[in-house]
Structure 1
């Protein structure tokens, strides 16, 4: 399929799409438009007699006619003989002319002196004296009156009409020549031309209403000079917008330069029309509408032609930006033009169906680009892990740029869509969220692979910490980006798993060191439990500096994991059924040890940042169950305990009650039955006993 490269020759290599260009607000002179071609084809006189004389400068077709003259030495008619009909009855040299002084023509021609001859009118018109329009109209009406009276021969009427039409051709040439380069003409001169045009339009309407005339005369009206002027405006718009854009804008493709050139040109030209021409033009001509509609049509035609090609991703985006954003907002609704252009209802540069197709293409292109950029960013991150590259340090924390890169990719995608329309931004937001969730799952899987394969790398733990810290970067950036604290689970889920797996890796060695220490509780049948726990706490305290490069929030979360592990392992040792105490005194002594150990664990973990207040009741309440002797009181305590820890099962309760060797089997059964009654739970609920297996 033909590519845009073919349409715009010399397209530069693809670069990052630049920001939306700003349109200037300064006015620019409209250049002279090409001269309107003479339309003097008439049937009542020789066509060569009615050809308008060509001016020395800017007259169309002069070169062709001069060349034709040289080829044909003898030519009976043509430019040299256009006004040959004026030689009859010419005034003697020195005879005063009756041409009117310069001024604005009146609506009704009523010359106060003798009517100028055709030759005098021709001379005046060749000098650009538009005052000749008034006596010329009188000549035309006298001719019509003579034809109606029937006093002259048909041949004489045709001869007189030939003179009149030749003069009108010259007048039209002068008037439209001024109107099509309006900013180059003095205001008073422009008003004269407009007055002539307006008068000719009135005469067209009068002639149409009369709808009569002699058969000897060819119907010369309506002359439709207003249509010719509007056609000239159309050609001027096409010429202005069709110029090759300047090559000075670096980094822009050919299409982008074309869009920018047309937008700037239209805005500057229409501002000049509103500011400088509207005050001079009659309201009925609606000069703003004439120019605005012409520029709009050509702009739309250019964009429609471009849209037919298979546009590259960059040019599709820029085309939509112009159609949906820059054109309606920076041109149509710009401060200097809005009041004029809004009433015209120019409409869109492209039809709605084509816009929808382009938007669908843009969304597809953008999502493909986002997916590729995200995959590339993750690939580079994985390569750094594999090469054992140490992560950056930022404020004494291990740091990775991955989150920043990914959020920037997402933000740029949404910003591009929003620069077209806010609605398109809303559409792409949902697509980006899904793509981000897909990326986060890929990120979590890649991180899990690194946890398995990279254990021997020197910077292994530092990179694990950096990626845990990344979870905060991702979460914060997403909350700021979408202005919400409640992110959907499909975004937070992969991050939570990544963080959890990272914590497990960092704590694996520590928990391995603690395992034999916890075994001492049962191996020594809970002799000197305080010394054992103090050694456990000391071991944990020595390892805590290893986690100093985590962000504070993650150090607290990790300390909560440690806190949970200490409480859980302590309960595991109590639930081993290796200790049976038959006397109340022994049970009370064990309960006292448990309370002292619970206080030590709680104080140590809290001082080191653990927020796990939900664990504070876990050991003291078990100590109370062991201390109490009355089955009814034990039931109440068990029921209360179940509200704090709903995953406390009959199996766990049986393991604790096994310590109380003075309970009968019926009493144990009665106490266990209390867990059959639902008493509600405290919120929030976190797992504790579901992590503890009992035999």
Structure 2
């Protein structure tokens, strides 16, 4: 048996690392053998070495060793401190395997339990307690062992209590490093060495609790560990350490929240960078600390939220809950160690909702006030007869730009404070009313029709396009119904502005329109006069801002083309014979090209308008009924709003087409429209004639 014990410890200086599973296994076997010898020889009753009430692993081995034959002492090296630093060096001069005279005579200082506590070697001190406990209670019934060794058990309990007290003190110093000490290797080393030993001692004792449940009450050091850290965190949140002052002008509530948040941030960083190294990975100590700080901060913020807060404190509290605190947990140093989602919200919904409602009402009111102020300023400038400002060569209104800036800034800030885009969007609910008042302002400008009205409407158009662009590209800023309603108002305003600006153009072109559909329209110079007048009118739109210039020119392009077709279909000209119809086809085709070139040069991109006139010209030229049917089908396919009345008016220009033939051609269009439906991207033209 003894040889089995000795085989566990080779001939080398004993190290504390040897006090592990192999040692305890061999020691248990050794203890059983010793007890057998003791029972067979009552005179060999073992005594427990004692020095001022303390014991050492060495004294424990000495007494058991004598009971087992006395020779094991030579095989088991003692825990000792060498009194002369040259002993190890002297050993190098001997190669025969025997100790030197200096080594034999070197005094040994035995490390007692108290010595280990003094040196803060807690895990080793705990192992002494565990070894002593196994020695007392191993191999016999627990009840019998407890009865036979009651005095020793009390001594063990006292020593365990002393160790426990020091462990608690060590845990309470877990976060004692100052922020500037985290990068100081010496300071970090002192803390981590002691804390690592304490954590190891706690884990050792947890396992020991499972072995001797009948002999003593469990230490429950794991629970003690958790409660100690909980009290530590509570204390640090109640009394944050002095740090950099927060922003000036903070209220007492804001200062308290700021200091707690700063303490939380510093401590979690210390946990991840320092404390984590003292724990085994499976302990998940970073998440444990994060949950403690989360609970502590949450409890304190709940108390603050119960008060009636002014708007500034309300915003500050919401921002900490929804922005600053999540931002701390998202720091790169913490993200990989802490599961922020598992922690949940700092405040429950029943406390958040009234705070958010207070904040959202304030934001909505402020935004509405800002928007109204901008619109009233625009009204005032108009009433005073001031001309709108220009930008990029065109009239602009600051109204849209200013309002868009307010909306973008306040919705973005509200989303940050509330943590919800949906809630942030609600502050724009009054935007629909503002658009209605903007529309009413434009209608008033048109109604007065003063000299400045043209410039103001052009400026308004730039604002309409800016608003439309925002509703299209920044949809996230608005609720769907607000966006939809505002776009409808803007569409009405654009249509009204275009009509106001273009009416004067059509009024100037009316004498030239009147010649269309008469015998003069086939004359080249008649249409050239129309083009010349149109070109002059187009120069009046050069002061349109680029954002709305193309829209106005495109609208005019379409309306001139529609007026051309309207006059043509309503004319009283009769095209007799193939030659006259071919001349008419050539005239319409040339007119289409001339219109296209003029409008294309001034910015219109409505190329499809040219194709309408070309297709109409083809109808005028064709003579065969089947060919005419095919051309009408092509025209009806491209423009589904083409009706039989339009085809009938067009065919009446051809005097050589009889009424039955016109009926056959129109029937072809009817059949087509019954079998097909209009595509979403088709242009509407004939329905506006």
Decide which of 366, 372, 393 is 1:396's aligned counterpart: 393
Distance 1:435 1:587, change over 3 A: same
In structure 1, stretches of 5+ residues that fail to align are 1-97, 113-124, 142-146, 153-159, 213-220
How far the C-alpha of 1:249 sits from its partner, in A, is 0.8
Q: Structure 1 residues 401-410 or 507-516, which shifts more?
A: 401-410
* Alignment partners' CA distance in 2, 1:643 and 1:168: 97
Question: Which residue number in structure 2 is paired with residue 61 of structure 1?
Answer: none
User: What SS does the corresponding residue of 1:309 show, helix, strand or coil?
Assistant: coil
Question: Which residue number in structure 2 is paired with residue 301 of structure 1?
Answer: 299
Contact 2:206 2:222 in 1 (8 A): no
How far the C-alpha of 1:336 sits from its partner, in A, is 4.0
> What RMSD in Å do the two structures reach over aligned CA positions?
5.7
User: What SS does the corresponding residue of 1:550 show, helix, strand or coil?
Assistant: coil
| Residues 443-474 of structure 1 deviation map (CA, whole Å, 9 limit, x = unaligned) | 6624542442453153x333322332334434
Question: Which residue number in structure 2 is paired with residue 250 of structure 1?
Answer: 248
Alignment of 1:215-226 (within 5 A): none
Alignment of 1:241 with 2:237, yes or no, is yes
User: What SS does the corresponding residue of 1:542 show, helix, strand or coil?
Assistant: helix
Alignment of 1:263-274 (within 5 A): 263-274=261-272
Distance 1:209 1:378, change over 3 A: same
Decide which of 485, 490, 499 is 2:494's aligned counterpart: 499
How far the C-alpha of 1:266 sits from its partner, in A, is 1.4
User: What SS does the corresponding residue of 1:616 show, helix, strand or coil?
Assistant: helix
Distance 1:430 1:283, change over 3 A: closer
Contact 2:574 2:655 in 1 (8 A): yes
Question: Which residue number in structure 2 is paired with residue 470 of structure 1?
Answer: 463
* Alignment partners' CA distance in 1, 2:484 and 2:516: 41
How far the C-alpha of 1:301 sits from its partner, in A, is 1.0
Contact 2:374 2:399 in 1 (8 A): yes
Question: Which residue number in structure 1 is paired with residue 682 of structure 2?
Answer: 685
How far the C-alpha of 1:513 sits from its partner, in A, is 0.9
| Residues 577-617 of structure 1 deviation map (CA, whole Å, 9 limit, x = unaligned) | 44446666655555554444344323322333322222224
* Alignment partners' CA distance in 1, 2:318 and 2:119: 48
* Alignment partners' CA distance in 2, 1:402 and 1:638: 49
Question: Which residue number in structure 1 is paired with residue 610 of structure 2?
Answer: 616
Question: Which residue number in structure 1 is paired with residue 543 of structure 2?
Answer: 549
* Alignment partners' CA distance in 1, 2:653 and 2:373: 59
Alignment of 1:363-402 (within 5 A): 370-371=367-368, 373-402=370-399
Decide which of 495, 502, 508 is 2:503's aligned counterpart: 508
Contact 1:414 1:428 in 2 (8 A): no
* Alignment partners' CA distance in 2, 1:503 and 1:429: 35
Alignment of 1:538 with 2:532, yes or no, is yes
How far the C-alpha of 1:111 sits from its partner, in A, is 13
How far the C-alpha of 1:512 sits from its partner, in A, is 1.1
Q: Tell me the matched-pair count.
A: 554
Distance 1:383 1:620, change over 3 A: same
How far the C-alpha of 1:302 sits from its partner, in A, is 0.5
How far the C-alpha of 1:377 sits from its partner, in A, is 4.2
How far the C-alpha of 1:514 sits from its partner, in A, is 1.0
Decide which of 347, 351, 355 is 1:350's aligned counterpart: 347
Distance 1:256 1:546, change over 3 A: farther
How far the C-alpha of 1:341 sits from its partner, in A, is 4.7
* Alignment partners' CA distance in 1, 2:267 and 2:220: 25
How far the C-alpha of 1:351 sits from its partner, in A, is 3.9
Q: Which has the higher contact order (CA 8 A, sep 6+)?
A: 1
Distance 1:242 1:474, change over 3 A: same
| Residues 477-523 of structure 1 deviation map (CA, whole Å, 9 limit, x = unaligned) | 45543599xx986564443333222222222211111112322446x
User: What SS does the corresponding residue of 2:684 show, helix, strand or coil?
Assistant: coil
* Alignment partners' CA distance in 1, 2:534 and 2:341: 78
Alignment of 1:285-684 (within 5 A): 294-312=292-310, 315-328=313-326, 330-331=328-329, 334-337=331-334, 341-342=338-339, 347-351=344-348, 354=351, 370-371=367-368, 373-416=370-413, 419=416, 424-425=420-421, 427-428=422-423, 435=429, 438=432, 441-442=435-436, 445-446=439-440, 448-453=442-447, 455-456=449-450, 458=452, 460-481=453-474, 492-521=487-516, 525-526=519-520, 529-552=523-546, 554-580=548-574, 589-627=583-621, 634-661=628-655, 664-678=658-672, 684=681
* Alignment partners' CA distance in 2, 1:668 and 1:285: 92
| Residues 105-152 of structure 1 deviation map (CA, whole Å, 9 limit, x = unaligned) | 97999799xxxxxxxxxxxx9xx9689x99xx9xxx9xxxxx999999
TM-score normalised by the chain length of structure 1: 0.61
* Alignment partners' CA distance in 2, 1:253 and 1:366: 21
